[in-house]
Amino acid sequence: MTFFDQILKAIQKDPGNRGLAKNPERNLFNQFPNDFQGACQSIAENLKPRIMIVTGFIIPSVSPPLGETDGPLGAVFLSKTLTELAIPVEIWTDSFAISAIAAGLEVLGLKEEIPLQGIPTKLKKEHYSRLDSFTHIIALERVGPNHVTDSIRNQQQAILGHQKWLAQGSPQASAIEIAAFENAVEPKKRNCCYTMRGQDITELMQPAHLLMPEAEQEKRPVTIGIGDGGNEIGMGKMPYSIIAENITQGGLIACRVPTDYLIVAGVSNWGAYALAAGIGLARNANAVELFHAELEKEVLEKMVRQGPLVDGVTGKKTPTVDGLSWEQYVEPFNEIRTILSEL
C-alpha cells in the first residue's frame, strides 16, 4: 500500500452513516481509486500551478440561514499548505462564508496573503477571463444542480464509451437509466441544488457550477471535486445509479456536474486535509509540520465565532463539523499526520 493509499484510507470512513459505502461492491468510495493520487500529482507536477478553491454551503434550517463549518475550514487549511509550497491560491465563496474564512486566514497570518473573492451572482466576461489564469479549480463541499434527462443520457454515453455504447444498444441502456431517474425526480425538482435532507437551496446559493469549465474547452483549468454526500460539484462523474442506490434521497440530490478528479471522503474537510498532504508528498515536501490539531481547533473556533458558521448536521453555532465530537472529527487529521511522520 502506497502512502497515497494510506492517506485515502484514513479519510474514507462514514461516521455520519450517510451510506457512502452502503453497497460494499459498488459505492462512492471505491469507484475512482486513482483519482486522489492523480489530483495530487496534477497540482504538484505543474510547473506554474495557480489554484482556485470554491467552497461554502448554506444551512437553510437555521434562522437566518448560515454557512456550515464543513468546507471553509478545509479551504483555509489547504490554502495554508499551498502557500507553504509557494503555490498561489485564491478562495472563492458566497457572502455568508467570507467573514468566517477571513477569520480563519487571520489566525494563520495569511489574511493579506491569500485573496478572498465573493462569487458573483451573474458571471461576466471579466470573471471568465480570470479563470484562464488558474491551472486548477477545486470545488470543496460545494453544492451543484441535480440531474436532468439529458445529463443522465450524456453520463451513460461517457461511462460506456461510444463504441461499447453502440454495441450494447444505446436506446435500451439509455432508457433504463432515464426511466429510473424520471421515476425518482419529477420535472419541477430537476436542475436544482439540494441539501442532504432534500431541501431546495437553489435560490440561497450563488451558481458556482458556472465557474467549472466545459470538458471540451481548450486550455481549461483542471477540475477537482471534493464531497461527502453525492450532492456536491464533482459528483456528476459518479454514475447516477451508484448515488441513488447508496445515499438516502440520492436519486433526488445527486449533482450532475463532473470534475476531472473526484475525491470522496466521510467529511469533505478530510478530503482537503488529504489533498494538502498528498500534494506535499508528490512534491517531496513533507507537510507533517502543518498538521497541528490544536491550531486547527483554534481556527475552527474563531471561524464559528466570527463567521458565524454552524455545524451542518446540528445547525448549532458550535466548533464542530457534521455532528461529530472534536475527538471523532480530528481522528483522520491525526492519522494523516502519523502517516506523514513515517516518511
189-217: per-residue pLDDT in tens?
999 999 999 999 999 999 999 898 876 67
Query: What is the pLDDT at residue 249?
Result: 95
The mean pLDDT value for 118-138 works out to 82
The mean pLDDT value for 220-235 works out to 97
Going by pLDDT thresholds of 50, 70 and 90, the confidence category of residue 226 is: very high
> Mean of the per-residue pLDDT values for the chain?
93
Question: Whole-prediction pTM value?
Answer: 0.95
Q: Is residue 43 part of a domain?
A: yes
Report the distance separating Cα 266 and Cα 20, nearest Å.
8
Q: Is residue 262 part of a domain?
A: yes
The answer on pLDDT for 56 being more than 80 is yes
The answer on pLDDT for 273 being more than 80 is yes
Query: What is the pLDDT at residue 61?
Result: 95
Look up residue 21 and give its amino acid: A
Query: What is the pLDDT at residue 173?
Result: 54
Q: Is residue 164 part of a domain?
A: no
The domain that holds 88 is classified in CATH as: 3.90.1640.20
Query: What is the pLDDT at residue 208?
Result: 93
The answer on pLDDT for 170 being more than 60 is no
Q: Is residue 335 part of a domain?
A: yes
Question: Hey, how many other C-beta atoms are within 10 angstroms of the C-beta on 141?
Answer: 32
The mean pLDDT value for 288-303 works out to 97
Query: What is the pLDDT at residue 215?
Result: 66
Mean pLDDT highest for which of 70-79, 125-134, 217-226?
A: 70-79
pLDDT tens-digit readout, 109-122: 999 999 999 998 87
Q: Contact 310/108 with Cβ under 8 angstroms?
A: no
The answer on pLDDT for 264 being more than 80 is yes
Query: What is the pLDDT at residue 129?
Result: 66
Q: Contact 137/52 with Cβ under 8 angstroms?
A: yes
pLDDT tens-digit readout, 23-39: 999 999 999 999 999 99
Q: Contact 224/139 with Cβ under 8 angstroms?
A: yes
Q: Is residue 154 part of a domain?
A: no
Q: To 10 degrees, what angle do helices 293-306 and 95-107 make?
A: 140
Going by pLDDT thresholds of 50, 70 and 90, the confidence category of residue 166 is: very low
The mean pLDDT value for 153-158 works out to 80
The mean pLDDT value for 256-266 works out to 97
The mean pLDDT value for 127-135 works out to 80
Domain of 123 in residue numbering reads as 3-147+185-341
Task: Specify the number of domains making up the chain.
Answer: 1
The mean pLDDT value for 36-57 works out to 98
The mean pLDDT value for 311-321 works out to 98
The mean pLDDT value for 279-294 works out to 95
Q: Is residue 72 part of a domain?
A: yes
- Look up residue 302 and give its three cell numbers: 474563531
Q: Is residue 73 part of a domain?
A: yes
Higher pLDDT, 95 or 174: 95
Question: Hey, how many other C-beta atoms are within 10 angstroms of the C-beta on 47?
Answer: 5
Going by pLDDT thresholds of 50, 70 and 90, the confidence category of residue 318 is: very high
Q: What b-and-e string marks burial along 264-290, b requiring 16 or more CB atoms within 10 Å of the CB?
A: bbbbbbbbbbbbbbbbbbbbeeebbeb
